Amino acid sequence: MMGRLLSKMAFVRGLRFRFTVAIAIFVSLLLLVIGFFFRQRLEAVLEEQVRQVLDEEWAATKAYLIIHRREAEWRYDPEDAEETLIVKQLQRVYFCADEEGKILDVSPAFEDLGIFTPQQIRDALALNQPFWEERVSDFDAEPYIIRGGLFVDDDNRRYFVAIGKSAAESRRVLEEFTRTYFTILPFMILAGSLIGWFLASRAISPVHELAQAADRISGLNLSLRIPPRNSGDEIDHLIHTFNSMVERLESSFEMTRRFSADVSHELRTPLTSIRGQLEVALFTASTAEQYRDAIIDALEDVEKLGQTIRAMLLLSQAESGQLALQKSVVDLVPVVADIVDQFQIPAEGEQLTLTAEVEGPCWVEVDRIQIERMISNLLSNAVKYTKPGGSVTARCRAAAGQVVFEVQDTGVGIPPAALPHIFDRFYRVPGQKEKQGLGLGLSFVAWIAKAHGGHVEVDSVPGRGTRFIVRLPCAATPEPAVATAGASADQPRELS
Ligand code: ADP
């Protein structure tokens, strides 16, 4: 019972039903307006026809009716059948009176319509133009149109003559039209509604297909796409939008999957190593020195583990807006020079030439810790992805209201297909598994640049090298006291 009621409500609320109702209302109103309009037009045309006939009959009356010394007389040839017929026709509804309203002649049919009073006659004559009136017969309740006017005899006496014509035929035509039209009106509305229903069904069926396809898509089969109909309409646009949404969802699912795998790998490696070191110490170490060495090794791995977890937490805080920036105006030149100095030893270890080309001062309003993290991440990547014998250059200069910081290397480069993704969280270029990393470093770089009102660009040729360019807005030169930029930590760090 309840289920039936709910499905009935869903049907009534359905687009198809509402569209059909709208069409039905529209068609009804349109047909009503059209019907009334044509009825008015038909009425006017029919009345005009009667008036034209009356005008012609009036001309005939003038020809056949002679009024002389208050005597009205119809002059025609009784032998002529046609003339006789015309005059009989004119005499059927006919009224004649003198100027004072004294009736000279009146047909019985006119008496049924009502005799003109002397006042009405005087008013009609005063008009100086044809007199028109509609009256209903007392006898058979038929409508009549009356045309009256002035007659003048040889002695210049003025008379009032009126003739009438039944408008019943016109009314009948009008009523017939109205009856027929309003009889077929419900059928036309029904036909309009059926067409509306059919059109709505056709328009909505792709939406149903879309909903069914969307139903089939789950976390396990995100590769499903709805085939476009290539009609270029709104539904195609919807399908396109939906497909790109699923595509984004798929890549985000994929990223999360990869991240889980990476995180577990990143956490498992140091954990296994700590466990191994501690087990070896437990079973084989005999001197305090051996225990000490094992603990130091384990602590190093614990530190690495801590760094990974910190990086993950930090990025999630940064992206959820919980990381407040402590901004101050600093000159980027000494900051860059310091970090480049810190990276000299690892760079030499990889047999790389690391140089800084800086033109100062480069004043920027930044959170120093975050900016150092950004520079370190870029330098660390450059060192990591450049083969021995290559070179890495860090540049910093101010130009056109911007501070431009660049890290250029002669490393492995990034394939063009990977370029749009390298700033995505947890993205790592495939085929570089031997290099350690979580794929978070560049996400940090992009977030830090953006959080400081700047942005980062990349330029890379596979096999030849990569250049990362960070553009930050210039800050106004500060007071000398603020302008000190000291050295940071002693050891180089990749702060992902
Ligand atoms: P990772 O921890 O893997 O280095 P990043 O977010 O720092 O993560 O970098 C994402 C990916 O971009 C890396 O896996 C690497 O393939 C590529 N990449 C970053 N910097 C460079 C570079 N200087 N040269 C070549 N590839 C790079």
Query: Which of 73-82, 316-325, 424-433, 471-480 is modeled with the greatest confidence?
Result: 73-82
Q: What residue's CA is closest to ligand 1, atom 25?
A: 413
Among protein residues, the one with the nearest Cα to ligand 1's atom 21 is: 381
- Strand-pairing partners, residue 468, are 407, 458
The protein residue with its alpha carbon nearest to ligand 1, atom 13, reads 428
Amino acid identity at 182: F
pLDDT digits (tens, 9 = 90+) for 329-354: 999 999 999 999 999 999 999 999 99
Q: How far is the CA of 427 from the centre of ligand 1 (A)?
A: 8
| Rounded average pLDDT over 316-327 | 77
- Summarize pLDDT for 183-203 with one digit per residue, the tens: 999 999 999 999 989 988 888
Distance CA 335, CA 374 (A): 11
Q: What is the best residue among 380, 409, 438, 442 to mutate for testing ligand 1's pocket, by most ligand atoms within 8 Å of CB?
A: 442
Q: Could you read off the pLDDT of 433-463 as tens digits, one per residue?
A: 677 777 888 988 998 999 999 999 999 999 9
Ligand 1 centre from 197 Cα, in Å? Answer: 58
> How many angstroms is it from 53 CA to the middle of ligand 1?
99
pLDDT at 273 over 90: no
Q: Is 284 exposed, middle or buried (0-12, 13-18, 19+ CB in 10 A)?
A: exposed
Section 246-260 average pLDDT: 78
Could you tell me what percent of the chain has a pLDDT over 90? 47
Question: Dihedral, CA atoms, 246, 248, 251, 256, nearest 10 degrees?
Answer: -100
Q: What is the band of 407 on the pLDDT scale with cuts at 50, 70, 90? A: very high
pTM beyond 0.75: no
Q: How confident is the model at residue 484 (pLDDT cuts 50, 70, 90)?
A: very low
Mean pLDDT estimate for the chain: 86
Using left for φ > 0, alpha for ψ between -120 and 50, and beta otherwise, residue 431 falls in: left
Atom nearest to 465 CA in ligand 1? 24
CA of 377 to the centre of ligand 1 (A): 9
Using most ligand atoms within 8 A of CB, pick from 374, 381, 383, 496 the residue to mutate for ligand 1: 381
* Whether the Cβ atoms of residue 237 and residue 247 lie closer than 8 Å to each other: no
List pocket residues of ligand 1, CB cut-off 6 Å: 381-382, 385, 409, 411-414, 422, 427-429, 432, 437-443, 466
Cβ proximity of 466 and 408 under 8 Å: yes
Cα 314 to middle of ligand 1, angstroms: 19
Query: What number is the average pLDDT over the span 410-427?
Result: 90
**Ligand 1 atom 12, closest CA:** 422
pLDDT at 31 over 90: yes
Query: What is the Cα–Cα distance from 462 to 480, expressed in whole angstroms?
Result: 45
